[in-house]
Chains A and B, each alone.
Chain A
Amino acid sequence: MKNRFMVLLLTVALFAITAVASAQTTTAILATISHNDSVIGALWNKDESQVLTWSLDGTARVSDDTGTRVFTIQYADTVNGAIWNADQTQILSWSEDGTARLSSATDGATVQTFTHDDAVLGVSYSADGTFVLTWSADATARIWGTTTGEEVARIQHTDIVRGATWNADATRIVTWSSDGTIFVNSFDGTAVASVATLPNDAPVAGAALNSTQTRLISWTSAGNNIVVWNPTDGTQIAVLNHAAPVVGATWNAAGTRIMSWSEDG
């Protein structure tokens, strides 16, 4: 009986402590934006008056800075990402359902739909916003006209395209894939042509151009190293060894140094 009382007392005390702690931290919450499943990313617009969120619940949502919803963009499956365009008049979002969609940033109405044959894993605008580059689990990267909605060109891999990037003036596109290759393609506004193919011995997990676009680093899902390439002719410049699989890597701002991290500690 005495023990039960002690347990009760302790429980009450714990509740009291929890309540105080909650009161303290919940006052720090300025806004709460609700979805129906995990939120996998969020962005502010430039003046931070609105928040764009995307979720496993199959929606991208725009909310104001109090958390009140402005509109919802509905997909048939998880939304993998979403961004505002440069002048913030449109939202580009992409989904597991195999589509990327351009929507009005005012009311969420669909402006263009870019349709792949499998999950869209990422998108990137060309520097002037004329083209949208999308990459997909359907083993392709595709270039679309932003205003026409039409597919301009396609880069074909044989397995999932894990990532892609433009160079600064949108004359080159680098794509990397689970098929173990990195493609460097030229792009003239109407068609792509192969510049170089960089062979790897395992699925390419990641790659990054430096800021001067003179070097490309890549790493694979199985390898313990970072490979440094010349992206213009496909030659290997260096191999940087870790003792265990590489998790990620990045360039410094000047593009002169590489930081990589690994399971080797």
Chain B
Amino acid sequence: MGNEAAVIGAAFSKDETSVLTWANDNTVKLWDAVTGKLIRTFDHGIVQPTGAALNHAGDRLITWSDDGTLRLWDIGNGALLFTFDPATQQGGALGAIWSANDQEILAWSQDSTARIWDAKAAPSF
């Protein structure tokens, strides 16, 4: 799988037919696990994704960044659905996990907090 930058992390999709990678060229990419072909690129703009987590259903992706934001993506079409942006940003987002029903996101940060986010707040969630 040909990224043009260092790959920071990677994860299998639930059914292991695809693989997600995030790299220091500010992209998250979805690959076919069998052929190795690039299926989709999620363009992170100017912010480097430092980590990512697929939801349990395997149709939504959350990525986090040093600017303190979390981004919610639609795996099916690559659309950015929502940006969870703490009102007071004093540090990078360090990690996040999905609730069992995929309705909430528990995220922790350098800003000395952990927050529970309502994933349903995203339009077209």
B42: which A residues are within 8 A, CB to CB?
none
B83: which A residues are within 8 A, CB to CB?
25
Total residue contacts A-B, CB cutoff 8 A: 122
| Bound Cα distance A189, B3 (Å) | 47
B107: which A residues are within 8 A, CB to CB?
42
A38 pairs with B91, CB closer than 8 A: yes
Given A36-B112, A40-B108, residue A252 in contact with residue B16 (CB < 8 A): yes
B12 pairs with A259, CB closer than 8 A: yes
**Band of interface residues on B:** 35 or more
Which of these, A25, A31, A250, contacts B85 with CB under 8 Å? A25
Main secondary structure of the interface of B (DSSP, over half): strand
- Give the Cβ gap from B1 to chain A, nearest Cβ, in Å: 8
Which of these, B16, B94, B100, B117, contacts A29 with CB under 8 Å? B117
B12 pairs with A42, CB closer than 8 A: no
A32 pairs with B85, CB closer than 8 A: no
B21 pairs with A261, CB closer than 8 A: yes
Say whether A35 faces chain B, with CB atoms less than 8 Å apart.
Answer: yes
B2 pairs with A265, CB closer than 8 A: yes
**A-binding residues in B (CB < 8 A):** 2-12, 16, 19, 21, 23, 33, 82-87, 91, 94-95, 97, 99-100, 104, 106-118, 121-122
User: 6 other contacts beyond A32-B115, A34-B112, A41-B94, with CB at 8 A cut-off?
Assistant: A25-B87, A29-B86, A31-B116, A43-B106, A53-B114, A262-B7
